[in-house]
Amino acid sequence: MSELLKKKKNSFLACPEDAQAAYDYCEGYKAFLDKSKIERFCVEEAVRIAEGAGFVAFEYGKEYVPGDKIYYVQHGRAVIFAIIGSQPMTDGFNITAAHVDCPRLDLKQVPLYEDSGIALMKTHYYGGVRKYQWVTIPLALCGTVCKRSGETIRIDIGNDPSDPVFYISDLLPHLAKDQKEIGGEDLNIIVGSKPDADSEDQSCKTAVLKLLNEKYGIVEEDFETADLSLVPAGNARDIGLDRSLIAAYGHDDRICAYPELTALLELKGIPKKTCVAVFADREEVGSMGISGMRSAYVPDFLKELCGDKNARQAFANSCALSADVNAAFDPNYPSVYEKRNSALLNHGVAVSKYTGSRGKGGCSEAPAELLAKLFKIFDDNGVRYQTAELGKVDQGGGGTVSQFLADHNILVVDIGVAMLSMHAPYEAAGKIDIYHMHKACVAFYENY
Ligand code: MN
Ligand code: MN
């Protein structure tokens, strides 16, 4: 019989035997983060890891058999991994779905200009950013330039310690009396200040273009055909004397994507159900777009596996974890949280029955039957979890990809790692929670 009273317990106290495993696991996670600053790089790195474990690229029309490990890349910016299970696919898929895009500053189409002896580039922020957090920090430029010739050029400047970085200035406090907030058009990055003496206009802009041309072979019009983003430069670091937390750019949501993949790699033998891990793009802007969860590529991939005529039955019997981060209670800002129903750091993966805002608007709520079955699986497999609601009612709210899975008649529940400073250039999360996200995915794949 269950205890009459339910007590919250810190995972370090509840399962001290997992502490070292969590610290070891997070070394791999940090290395993954450092190579995954943008969704394209994240997809590349995840595919590299999966190929090392025997995954091969999906082929249309091919018959897959139990035990086959495949991946499907969507335009270089999203990826689906799958291991074919031993049971018929009409029994349903066990799906985990995270996203690998993060808030950032994208370069505009015509970015480069010069003003007052400084070469700058215009940006357009992507996703929910608090703009003041992005000034006066080192930024890296990452992405792809597609030349009209068909050549593509990978750009990654600022992440290697020997690289230069980019920078957005801010007012000095002495002159900031009237500054209310930083505007979107204020987020202009400094890219140079040394004029080109040999050029006709002797400008810094020409000097920057010459450097880009020498190193990457690109010219100004190539910015029109590029996906380039500014992201915080530098690597993930441990926080605290006990090294129990990790500070990093892009925890949201690689902190759930990485465990989805490591859990797939850890499955022993052939799983009963076909297990699927989705790394989606575009979640931070509402999941629309060719690589977002509103696109048909995820259900279409599943239909390719189970066959069109079986799809309705397969989807109806499927279950998905919408794997995304949650907000941990922050003692610096208690007023926006309802403490009893907020996730606490290091207290297990955060499961949200519902997300949304106001009267649960814009969310897909998980039915009680699903939660009871999932929590039983977690209890039986030593997975630490806690229920969580993101902040106070009417304080704000948020959404995930869960509703877009529910649209296909797939049962879905929100689960993820609770963190501090979500969407900041440097977010913070607990190592033992990250490890239990991995354990949660393993338990789900094997037992749901
Ligand atoms: Mn997220
Ligand atoms: Mn987010």
Give the distance (Å) from ligand 2 centre to CA of residue 77. Answer: 16
Q: In this structure, what CATH number is given to the domain that contains residue 387? A: 3.40.630.10
| pLDDT at residue 279, rounded to an integer | 98
End-to-end CA distance of the chain: 22
Give the distance (Å) from ligand 2 centre to CA of residue 422. Answer: 7
Helix (H) or strand (E) holding 375: helix 368-380
Residue 163 C-beta-side C-alpha neighbours within 13 Å = 16
Instruction: Report the alpha-carbon distance of residue 332 to residue 420 in Å, rounded.
Output: 10
**Which ligand ends up closest to the CA of 324?**
1
Q: What is the mean pLDDT of each run of 10 residues along the chain (448 residues)?
A: 86 97 98 98 98 98 97 98 98 98 98 98 98 98 97 97 97 94 96 96 97 97 98 97 98 98 96 98 97 98 98 98 98 96 98 92 92 98 96 90 96 98 98 98 98
Give the distance (Å) from ligand 1 centre to CA of residue 61. Answer: 33
Give the distance (Å) from ligand 1 centre to CA of residue 155. Answer: 25
Give the distance (Å) from ligand 1 centre to CA of residue 62. Answer: 33
| pLDDT at residue 398, rounded to an integer | 86
Residues 25 and 146 in one domain: no
For residue 237, is it within any domain?
Answer: no
For residue 79, is it within any domain?
Answer: yes
User: How many domains are contained in the chain?
Assistant: 2
Residues 123 and 81 in one domain: no
| pLDDT at residue 1, rounded to an integer | 56
For residue 410, is it within any domain?
Answer: yes
Query: Considering 199, 232, 265, which residue would you say is the last residue of a domain?
Result: 232
Give the distance (Å) from ligand 2 centre to CA of residue 283. Answer: 7
Encoded tokens for 256: 């759930």
- Could you please report the per-residue DSSP string of 180-233? ----GGG--EEEE----TTSSS--HHHHHHHHHHHHH---GGGGGGEEEEEEE-
Angle at 395 between CA 391 and CA 397, to 5 degrees: 65
Task: Give the Cβ contact number of residue 1 at 10 Å.
Answer: 3
For residue 241, is it within any domain?
Answer: no
| pLDDT at residue 19, rounded to an integer | 98
For residue 343, is it within any domain?
Answer: yes
- Ion ligand 1, residue ranges at CB < 5 A: 252-253, 324
Q: Which domain holds residue 436?
A: 2-100+249-447
For residue 357, is it within any domain?
Answer: yes
Give the distance (Å) from ligand 1 centre to CA of residue 119. Answer: 34
Question: Strand 274-280 and strand 78-83: pairing?
Answer: antiparallel
| pLDDT at residue 2, rounded to an integer | 73
Give the distance (Å) from ligand 1 centre to CA of residue 308. Answer: 31
Give the distance (Å) from ligand 2 centre to CA of residue 99. Answer: 9
The arrangement of strands across the sheet holding 418-420 comes to 237-239, 245-248, 427-430, 418-420, 326-327
Give the distance (Å) from ligand 2 centre to CA of residue 204. Answer: 36
Give the distance (Å) from ligand 1 centre to CA of residue 324. Answer: 5
Give the distance (Å) from ligand 1 centre to CA of residue 99. Answer: 7
SS3 label, residue 321: strand
| Distant-in-sequence, close-in-space partners of 217: CB < 8 Å, separation ≥ 6 | 147, 151, 153
Give the distance (Å) from ligand 1 centre to CA of residue 437. Answer: 14
The arrangement of strands across the sheet holding 56-57 comes to 56-57, 69-74, 78-83, 274-280, 93-99, 319-323, 411-416, 349-352, 385-387
Task: Give the Cβ contact number of residue 16 at 10 Å.
Answer: 11
- Ion ligand 2, residue ranges at CB < 5 A: 252
Residues 152 and 108 in one domain: yes
**Helices and strands in the chain: count of H runs, count of E runs:** 10, 22
Give the distance (Å) from ligand 2 centre to CA of residue 86. Answer: 35
Residues 111 and 186 in one domain: yes
Residues 273 and 227 in one domain: no
Q: In this structure, what CATH number is given to the domain that contains residue 217? A: 2.30.250.10
Residues 304 and 271 in one domain: yes
Give the distance (Å) from ligand 1 centre to CA of residue 399. Answer: 8
Give the distance (Å) from ligand 2 centre to CA of residue 40. Answer: 17
Encoded tokens for 146: 């597609």
SS3 label, residue 401: coil
CB 300 within 8 A of CB 58: no
Give the distance (Å) from ligand 2 centre to CA of residue 174. Answer: 34
User: Furthest-apart CA pair in the chain: how many Å?
Assistant: 84
Query: Considering 198, 232, 266, which residue would you say is the last residue of a domain?
Result: 232
Residues 35 and 109 in one domain: no
Give the distance (Å) from ligand 2 centre to CA of residue 447. Answer: 29
| pLDDT at residue 231, rounded to an integer | 98
Instruction: Report the alpha-carbon distance of residue 339 to residue 40 in Å, rounded.
Output: 37
Query: Considering 174, 206, 232, which residue would you say is the last residue of a domain?
Result: 232
| pLDDT at residue 363, rounded to an integer | 86
Give the distance (Å) from ligand 1 centre to CA of residue 357. Answer: 15
**Which ligand ends up closest to the CA of 280?**
1
Residues 95 and 111 in one domain: no
For residue 444, give the nearest of 389, 373, 361, 391 by alpha carbon.
373
Give the distance (Å) from ligand 2 centre to CA of residue 316. Answer: 28
Residues 12 and 140 in one domain: no
SS3 label, residue 395: coil
For residue 287, give the nearest of 36, 422, 97 by alpha carbon.
97
Task: Give the Cβ contact number of residue 365 at 10 Å.
Answer: 18
Instruction: Report the alpha-carbon distance of residue 93 to residue 88 in Å, rounded.
Output: 10
Give the distance (Å) from ligand 2 centre to CA of residue 208. Answer: 33
For residue 55, is it within any domain?
Answer: yes
* Chain centre distance of CA 285: 13
Residues 295 and 409 in one domain: yes
Give the distance (Å) from ligand 1 centre to CA of residue 12. Answer: 25
Give the distance (Å) from ligand 1 centre to CA of residue 218. Answer: 34
Give the distance (Å) from ligand 1 centre to CA of residue 334. Answer: 22
Residues 75 and 141 in one domain: no
Residues 19 and 112 in one domain: no
Instruction: Report the alpha-carbon distance of residue 176 to residue 171 in Å, rounded.
Output: 6
For residue 376, is it within any domain?
Answer: yes
**Which ligand ends up closest to the CA of 325?**
1
Encoded tokens for 163: 């690289």
Encoded tokens for 9: 């317990």
Give the distance (Å) from ligand 2 centre to CA of residue 293. Answer: 14
